[in-house]
Amino acid sequence: MTEPLELKKTLNLPKTDFAMKASLPQNEPKQLEAWQAANLYEQILAAREGKPLFVLHDGPPYPTGTIHLGTGLNKILKDMIVKSKSMTGHRAPYVPGWDCHGLPIETQVEKQLGGKGKVFAAGIPPDVPRLRYPVR
């Protein structure tokens, strides 16, 4: 009787020192610590001192409600734009901002309170902790 075919032996894969398992919960903090110890971000900004400035304000993390896939896509695209500008010779610092002027969160609060102008027009005193919750 013949031995069963071991498909692993038929693959032409490179031999590397990389572990098969990423172990991100253990390894990511180490990598972040190494980048912070090397002052990598500060070195990049220092190397671009005097170059043309490019600023893309990164808005609030999720101003229109709960976090969703579009939130991640937005962050990734903005990060790619800022990094590509830095790589093409611009001084492109990361600038967090609150560029939505509060309107999306005001809309969310009004929805929770029953609609635009209904609660305050009725003379009902606002429940301040409940109003503040969506903002935090």
pLDDT tens digit sequence for 85-134: 999 999 999 888 765 655 666 777 777 766 666 656 656 566 767 666 66
Judged by DSSP in three states, 70 sits in: helix
Bigger pLDDT: 61 or 39? 39
In the chain, the percentage of residues whose pLDDT exceeds 70 is 71
Residues composing the chain: 136
pLDDT of residue 28 exceeding 60, the answer is yes
- Specify the pLDDT at position 102: 59
- Specify the pLDDT at position 71: 82
21-29: average pLDDT: 90
Give the chain's radius of gyration (CA, Å): 25
Q: Are 74 and 36 in contact (CB under 8 A)?
A: no
